[in-house]
């Protein structure tokens, strides 16, 4: 009797397991069958929000389901990343990953509650754009050499503005370390007040994202000296890179991509990766991205994961060398 009971229990248990596996397989095959959430870890209206909504629109067309952007701001993107890990890893929560929350943050705080390389599956990089070294037109500097020569002859007497741990801040720290100069940083709580002071001539120079400074460079209110990407930017064709100005290998870009929590079923990961690759090939996506100076990077998980790791390593080194601490 006991043996028969055990056999029956095993059969029932096996049927339950098979039913569960069948249900999971069906859910994955049917994915997506409801709206998907994309967490953007910054407030509405900024560059990160714009990039998130752009890829959400295009991916939604490919997957034939709405991609709903949810802005969860705080701590330079950290709050949003932490929130993403608390939700089911079922493919219905995507997270916009980026240079601040997935590379710079690790250099600032080695005790983060997440690990960018082990807690997430990185699906694809979506955009890349340079920081631009701009000066007020009243300044005499026309080239990187002008800035470096002045700073070396007058250590500490040349100021620049920065917002803590932003990509422009990191670009300036790398610039100082690469060129071997010392300049005095003036901290700002936000990019808006810093840009206003730059336009008013209160501070002489900054590194800022290409889309932010573009209208001011075109109007002559600011002078662009160099871009921080490896290659010249199409919207700044006459502005040399820092690398070609004598500092080979210099690169400090602003970028973002799309990731999911580790544990998301492989079949869903594959479908998302393929969908994102298709979305990034659309002419409307490329046109909208390049119109504000961003570059469409290679798509795919392999490229993005390797790139993110290289960025994490670089900015951790820069931050450690500079002695930058969390605010």
Domain annotation covers residue 92:
yes
CATH of the domain at 288: 3.40.190.150
213 confidence band (pLDDT: 50, 70, 90): very high
Higher-scoring residue by pLDDT: 46, 135: 135
Q: What is the pLDDT of residue 327?
A: 85
| Secondary structure E strands in 218-252 | 223-227
Per residue in 67-88, pLDDT (tens digit) is 999 999 999 999 999 999 999 9
* Element holding 32 (H helix, E strand): none
Token pair recorded at residue 9: 């229990």
Per residue in 50-73, pLDDT (tens digit) is 999 999 999 999 999 999 999 999
pLDDT at 203 over 70: yes
Distance CA 24, CA 14 (A): 15
Q: What is the pLDDT of residue 174?
A: 98
Domain annotation covers residue 327:
no
Domain with 141, as residue range(s), is 130-245
Q: What is the pLDDT of residue 172?
A: 98
User: To the nearest whole percent, how much of the chain has pLDDT over 70?
Assistant: 91
Is residue 161 domain-shared with residue 104, that is, in the same domain? no
Q: What is the pLDDT of residue 142?
A: 98
Q: What is the pLDDT of residue 2?
A: 54
First to last CA, the chain: 69
107 confidence band (pLDDT: 50, 70, 90): very high
pLDDT at 19 over 70: no
Q: What is the pLDDT of residue 15?
A: 56
Domain annotation covers residue 83:
yes
Per residue in 284-295, pLDDT (tens digit) is 999 999 999 999
Is residue 174 domain-shared with residue 270, that is, in the same domain? no
Mean pLDDT within 115-132: 98
Per residue in 295-310, pLDDT (tens digit) is 999 999 999 999 999 9
Read off the DSSP letter of residue 203. S
Is residue 118 domain-shared with residue 59, that is, in the same domain? yes
Distance CA 73, CA 317 (A): 26
Higher-scoring residue by pLDDT: 327, 62: 62
pLDDT at 200 over 50: yes
Distances (CA, A) of 45 to 11, 71, 163: 57, 10, 18
Distance CA 288, CA 52 (A): 13
29 confidence band (pLDDT: 50, 70, 90): confident
Parallel, antiparallel, or unpaired: how do β-strands 223-227 and 93-98 relate? Answer: unpaired
Domain annotation covers residue 302:
yes
Is residue 107 domain-shared with residue 158, that is, in the same domain? no
Distance CA 41, CA 22 (A): 35
Is residue 232 domain-shared with residue 145, that is, in the same domain? yes
- Please say whether the dihedral angle defined by the alpha carbons of residues 227, 230, 233 and 237, taken in this order, is positive or negative: positive
Is residue 134 domain-shared with residue 227, that is, in the same domain? yes
Domain annotation covers residue 11:
no
Mean pLDDT within 173-202: 97
Which of 185, 210, 245 delimits the end of a domain?
Answer: 245
Per residue in 225-270, pLDDT (tens digit) is 999 999 999 999 999 999 999 999 999 999 999 999 999 999 999 9
pLDDT at 24 over 80: no
Which of 216, 245, 274 delimits the end of a domain?
Answer: 245
Give the count of domains, the chain.
Answer: 2
* DSSP output for 128-183: EEEEEEEE-TTS---SHHHHHHHHHHSTT--EEEEETTSHHHHHHHHHHHHHT---
Q: What is the pLDDT of residue 216?
A: 98
Question: Are the C-beta atoms of residues 67 and 59 closer than 8 Å to each other?
Answer: yes
Treating both helix axes as pointing N-terminal to C-terminal, what angle do 283-290 and 266-280 enclose, rounded to 10 degrees? 70
Is residue 146 domain-shared with residue 115, that is, in the same domain? no
Token pair recorded at residue 70: 């949810």
Q: What is the pLDDT of residue 309?
A: 98
Is residue 125 domain-shared with residue 270, that is, in the same domain? yes
Q: What is the pLDDT of residue 237?
A: 97
CATH of the domain at 169: 3.40.190.10
Domain annotation covers residue 6:
no
Is residue 195 domain-shared with residue 215, that is, in the same domain? yes
> Which residues, at least 6 apart from 315, have a Cβ–Cβ distance to it below 8 Å?
99, 103, 104, 106, 107, 170
Mean pLDDT within 83-94: 98
Q: What is the pLDDT of residue 109?
A: 95
Which of 214, 245, 276 delimits the end of a domain?
Answer: 245
Is residue 137 domain-shared with residue 104, that is, in the same domain? no
Is residue 137 domain-shared with residue 235, that is, in the same domain? yes
Per residue in 131-179, pLDDT (tens digit) is 999 999 999 999 999 999 999 999 999 999 999 999 999 999 999 999 9
Q: What is the pLDDT of residue 7?
A: 63
Is residue 124 domain-shared with residue 134, that is, in the same domain? no
Closest by CA position to 98, among listed 78, 118, 114, 83 = 78
């Amino acid at each position: 009797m006991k043996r028969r009971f055990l056999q029956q229990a095993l059969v029932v248990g096996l049927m339950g397991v098979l039913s569960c596996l069948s249900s999971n397989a069906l859910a994955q095959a049917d994915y997506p069958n409801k709206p998907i959430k994309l967490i953007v870890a910054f407030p509405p209206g900024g560059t990160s929000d714009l990039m998130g909504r752009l890829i959400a629109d295009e991916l939604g067309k490919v997957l034939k389901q709405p991609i709903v952007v949810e802005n969860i701001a705080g701590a330079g993107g950290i709050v949003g990343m932490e929130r993403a890990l608390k939700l089911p890893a079922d493919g219905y929560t995507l997270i916009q990953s980026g240079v601040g929350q997935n590379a710079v943050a690790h250099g600032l705080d080695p005790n983060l509650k997440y690990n960018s390389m082990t807690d997430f599956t990185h699906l694809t990089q979506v955009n890349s754009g340079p920081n631009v070294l701009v000066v007020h037109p009243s300044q005499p500097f026309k080239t990187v050499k002008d800035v470096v020569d002045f700073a070396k002859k007058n250590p500490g007497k040349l100021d620049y503005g920065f917002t803590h741990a932003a990509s422009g801040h990191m670009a300036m720290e790398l610039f100082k370390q690469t060129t071997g100069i010392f300049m005095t940083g003036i901290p700002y709580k936000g990019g808006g007040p810093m840009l206003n002071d730059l336009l008013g001539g209160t501070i002489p120079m900054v590194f800022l994202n290409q889309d932010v400074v573009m209208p001011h460079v075109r109007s002559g209110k600011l002078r662009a000296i160099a871009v921080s990407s490896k290659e010249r930017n199409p919207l700044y064709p006459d502005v040399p890179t820092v690398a070609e100005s004598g500092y080979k290998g210099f690169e400090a870009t602003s970028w973002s991509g799309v990731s999911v929590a580790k544990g998301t079923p492989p079949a869903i990961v594959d479908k998302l990766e393929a969908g994102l690759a298709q979305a990034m090939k659309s002419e409307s996506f490329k046109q909208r991205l390049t119109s504000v100076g961003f570059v469409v990077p290679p798509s795919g998980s392999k490229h993005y994961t390797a790139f993110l790791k290289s960025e994490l390593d670089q900015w951790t080194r820069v931050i450690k060398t500079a002695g930058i601490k969390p605010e």
